[in-house]
Structure 1
Amino acid sequence: MSLFLLILDGNSISNGELLGRLLNLTNVKKADLTSNHLGPNGAKQLAEFLSQNKSLEELVLATNRLEVDGFLAIMNAIKGNKNFKSFNFASNHLDALIRGPLVDALKTNVDLVALDLSDNPLGDDCASEILAGLVGNKSLQYLNLTQCGLNPASGEAIAKFLEVHPHVSRLKIGYNKFSAQNGVTLGHSIQSNNLVVLDLRFTNIGASGTCGVFSGLLNNHSIVELIVNGNAINKKGLGILTTVLSGNNTLQKLGMRYCEIGKSGFITLAKIISTNSSITYLDVSHNSLDSTEACKQLAAALGHAKTRKGDKISATVINELNISNCLIGPKQLDELAEGLVRNRSIKTLHLDDNELGIKGMRALSVAVKQNQVLKIITVQDTHISTSDVVVFMEKAADECFIEVLDCRKNGIDAGNSQFVQAQKRYNKYKILL
């Protein structure tokens, strides 16, 4: 019997012996054992069978509370086994004590393709030794050190690691306490790297560090996904990003939530959106879009803007836009609705945690009647009532093309007679309550 993939995540199978026998019996190549409450004892039982396993190439043991003892048992069991291509030990209460056996395993298995140690308090010394253990590896493509208790020393080490390991294509190092200088150094490193995904969310690099990262993109044409959530972006940074995206047709996913972007920042973003034809996903939630002027500029960027010289066609290809928690009220949504009417690319729109109310829902209903592309709208926790949703349904009627309206966290009364009647009459789309 032979399987390629075995998924047993979330089954609370704490019996490591049972899992080990199953892995060896099926000759599986990839096993996902996430969230099975193995613990140190279950890991030790599993280790006995892993030492005999000759087929497994990818092992996912995330969120199993292995702790140091359980992890060491696993490492000792697979020591010298060169079949493994991917390890995932995320969220297992691991600390710096794992570094010796792990580094030995990394030095032995130079064909390792993926390593995920996220959400473990490893610290700088451990991270430094792990990177040193990967020096001889020319195959690694994915490295995840998110939330590992890393500081500026690790930030510099990671940047240097990237310079000599251009084969790494996905790097996730969010939720660590780096510095502005780390952002600048990392920006230099990505110029000569083949990174496709770079996740720097909440890394404390600040506005100048973000500028450094954006500057690195000027000479990088491989990054498809960039996440800088939680790092401030100032006027200079947005200026650099404007230059980057004017000549970059590679970047497709851009995350900039909690980046302290205000009126002038959104006006600059509008200019970027109107001329860029590569970004398909844009998350600018948890910023301040309470300016009607900024909303007007953004609306113009999203669709065909009426000008004195005639229609101006936007280059945007964004199909998912997240402007949740951006201080948007009815007036701002009125302006944005104008852009949505003329937009021909957005399929999913997130408006959660804004003060929409009845006026906002009316503006939205007008937009969806004329937009034939928009399929999913989320308006969770937007202070709308049951009657507001009914008004939306009546105004949009059967002319809209949306498939899902997510109204959760608003206390909508599913048993309300008007709501029940409206649902029966306008049943083309699903309403989540």
Structure 2
Amino acid sequence: MSVSLIAVEGRGICYKTHHSSTKGAKVLAAALTPNEEGVFNGSLNTLTITNGVKLPIGSLRRNELTELDLSGKGLRCEDAIILGAALVSNVSLSTLNLAGNNIGPDGAKALAVAFTQNAEGVFNRSLNTLDLSGNKLVVPSPDPPYRDVSGIKAVAEALVFNTSLSTLLLADTNIGPEGAKALAFALTPNEEGAFNTSLNTLDLLKNGIGPEGAKALAIALAPNENGVFNRSLNTLNLEDNQLCGVDLYGRLPYDASGIKALADALALNGTLHTLTLADNELCNPRVATLGSEEDDPLSRDGISALATALVLNKSLDTLDVRGTNITGKDAEKLAEAVLKHPSLQVFNKIAMQDMRDDKLTELDLSDKNIGVLEALVLSKLLVFNGSVKTVNLKGNQIGPEGAKALAAALTPNEQGAFNGSLNTLDLGDNNLCYSCVSTFGRKQFDPSGISALAAALVLNNSMDTLDVCGNLIAGKDAEKLAEAVLRHPSLQVFNKIAMQDMRDDKLTELDLSDKNIGVLEALVLSKLLVFNGSLNTLILDGNRLAGHRFTGDTEHAECLEALGDALKENATLTSLSMCNNMLGPKCAAALAEGLACSGSLNTLTLIGNQIGYEGAKALAAALTPNGEGWFNGSLNTLNLRSNKIGPEGAKALAVALTPNSEGLCNTSLNTLDLM
């Protein structure tokens, strides 16, 4: 590194640094640090470092700052060396954010020096929050063990004697098990009695600490033979750390020893308040995939230990174990322990205490990695809750098991207790028809959840908005739920369909494009259309009218059969658009049957489907006068662009427009788009 004078700013001098090595940074850092005689450079005010970032050296020296945010600036180890030197004698800065940089092990060591008492007894005593998230503090090394852990070890060693730092954020810093062990050592009482007693928040999100790192941290949290343990740490984040050895894809052997050690420590620890263990495959993902009851019991040891720990623990108020493949009896056991815990206020993002105290009117848990376990807990809380009106669980994985649990909350139990206040429930995109959904893609069809929801709707009269879109509900299950929905006395909106407005003839146009409309919605829509007297435009573009879009399933005509039947009865619909629905020949044939009997439809748009020449022939037949006289005489615009109907399909449509032997032809169609 070289340093060049570029300007004079206010009271001091502004320098610009050019990085070629750490040597120059160390020289400059030495100039900023008091030597044995107490001499140092006191004139430097602002230093322009990497990417033009201005380091406020003067303000740090004059103790004018309490917070310094240098996150995401692309800083390197050289910059951390200079910053560390400026921090040594600072007594005002309480928060330093260096997240999202690239300071590496050498930068971490330089910062650690600032928090470690030197020969003169000088070190930083003011900083209480340090964020190094996103900095790779451990990097590959050519020498065994082939990982340079010197940076995180230096930070850990500085922690041992530091008494000011209360929050250390090390998310995604690649520290691994070695780094976790070093930090655990700093937090664990030893024979000399030296250990950190100030840190209360430690964030180790996404660091791959594994079972070994978990066991090391457990030692710090559990009382030793003398009953001594770390009492300062109250918030610990271990999310996405492969605590059981396996990753999201089930690679590496399953090892429950780490989570068991943490659970055992939790049972005895009385100071930890917040623990995050999300996305750690606490249940063997291969077992969760197969759903076997005869699997190796070791694969469930971690969950059993955690449930037992919650029975004994009295201090925890926030626990997060989302995304851990917990289902079946394991989920039931853990849910029971959670609900009985005396101090737990928030579990897996569910505000339990607020629900018990009737403080919430809305609960938004959409896209929160919610599964069966959370549905079981939520179900029990809802039974006795009288304030929550809206629950949004869209984009999760509660499956049939979770659907049954929630349905139970809406249905009177043996004591007659049930939730009668909830009026809006969103269960969209939750795999309600498939159990054993896992990262391995194995699915098992299970209609029990849909049956339970249908039964609950018969008995529950409070619901006015229900959404189960995107759950691939079809066949008899769709028929059963559609019947329950249509008979419900208070339901106003179902899967984005404004049912009550349609019944009251308040709508002239209904746009349901890109709303995951499938068989279930088509069944409900068709029944409503029969008696509707106001709707003239219906848009169903970009849905699943041919079956399960993008899954490769074969074409189903259930939706079009239902809509076709509605066209026979409805007298007001004039425009119908079903573009980009992957409709094939079967769907076109089903639609054609209804089209032949429709006397109101004048515009039909089917752009971007796959009806082919067979589908075109079916539609042509519906438009062509025949011996029985049944044909559509109202349609004037038909758009079949991008449907691959070919010459044969075009010929069939031409026949409809050409007088037959009796001189009859379709005279209403005046716009036909086949390009």
- Tell me, yes or no, whether TM beats 0.5: yes
Structure 1 counterpart of 2:219 = 160
C-alpha distance 56-300 of structure 1, shift in aligned 2 (>3 A) = same
Counterpart pick for 1:94 among 137, 154, 174: 137
Structure 1 counterpart of 2:555 = none
Structure 1 counterpart of 2:276 = 199
Letter in 2 for 1:18: L
Deviations 1:33-62 (A, max 9, x none): 321222233333433432342201222211
Structure 2 counterpart of 1:426 = none
Structure 2 counterpart of 1:272 = 380
Counterpart pick for 2:462 among 342, 358, 361: 342
Rg larger in 1 or in 2?
2
Deviations 1:296-335 (A, max 9, x none): 551341x5x45797x624499x999985642147957767
Structure 2 counterpart of 1:374 = none
Cα displacement (A) at 1:137: 1.9
Q: Check whether the contact 1:341–1:367 (CA below 8 A) recurs between aligned residues.
A: no
Letter in 2 for 1:174: E
The percent of aligned pairs where both chains have the same amino acid is: 22
SS of 2:168's equivalent in the other structure is: strand
Letter in 2 for 1:209: G
Counterpart pick for 2:266 among 190, 205, 208: 190
Cα displacement (A) at 1:259: 8.1
Which residues in structure 2 correspond to 1:205-354 (within 5 Å)?
Answer: 205-206=282-283, 207-255=300-348, 261=372, 269=377, 272-274=380-382, 286-290=396-400, 295=403, 297-301=405-409, 303=410, 305-306=411-412, 312-314=417-419, 325-328=429-432, 342=462, 354=471
Counterpart pick for 2:108 among 43, 59, 71: 71
5+ residue gaps, structure 1, are: 1-11, 370-378, 396-408, 411-416, 419-433
Deviations 1:170-197 (A, max 9, x none): 1111222223122222222112322222
Q: Check whether the contact 1:33–1:62 (CA below 8 A) recurs between aligned residues.
A: yes
Distance 1:381 1:189 in 2: 49
Structure 2 counterpart of 1:175 = 240
Counterpart pick for 2:78 among 20, 41, 50: 41
Deviates more, 1:42-51 or 1:318-327: 318-327
Letter in 2 for 1:140: L
C-alpha distance 149-315 of structure 1, shift in aligned 2 (>3 A) = farther
C-alpha distance 242-145 of structure 1, shift in aligned 2 (>3 A) = closer
Counterpart pick for 1:56 among 79, 93, 97: 93
C-alpha distance 187-355 of structure 1, shift in aligned 2 (>3 A) = same
SS of 1:342's equivalent in the other structure is: coil
TM-score by length of 2: 0.45
Q: Check whether the contact 1:86–1:115 (CA below 8 A) recurs between aligned residues.
A: yes
Distance 1:319 1:248 in 2: 29
Q: Check whether the contact 2:348–2:374 (CA below 8 A) recurs between aligned residues.
A: no
Q: Check whether the contact 2:63–2:91 (CA below 8 A) recurs between aligned residues.
A: no
Letter in 1 for 2:397: N
Deviations 1:374-407 (A, max 9, x none): xxxxx9986259xx9xx99xx9xxxxxxxxxxxx
Distance 1:271 1:129 in 2: 42
C-alpha distance 314-94 of structure 1, shift in aligned 2 (>3 A) = same
Is the counterpart of residue 119 in structure 1 residue 172 in structure 2? yes
Structure 1 counterpart of 2:665 = none
SS of 1:84's equivalent in the other structure is: coil
Distance 2:159 2:425 in 1: 40
Q: Check whether the contact 1:232–1:259 (CA below 8 A) recurs between aligned residues.
A: no
SS of 2:55's equivalent in the other structure is: helix
SS of 1:56's equivalent in the other structure is: coil
Distance 1:200 1:319 in 2: 33
SS of 1:171's equivalent in the other structure is: strand
Deviations 1:343-386 (A, max 9, x none): 79x9xx997864589979942568999xxxxxxxxx9986259x
Structure 1 counterpart of 2:204 = 145
Compare relative contact order (CA 8 Å, sep 6+) and give the higher one, 1 or 2.
Answer: 1
Distance 2:467 2:74 in 1: 35
Q: Check whether the contact 1:295–1:336 (CA below 8 A) recurs between aligned residues.
A: no
Distance 1:144 1:314 in 2: 38
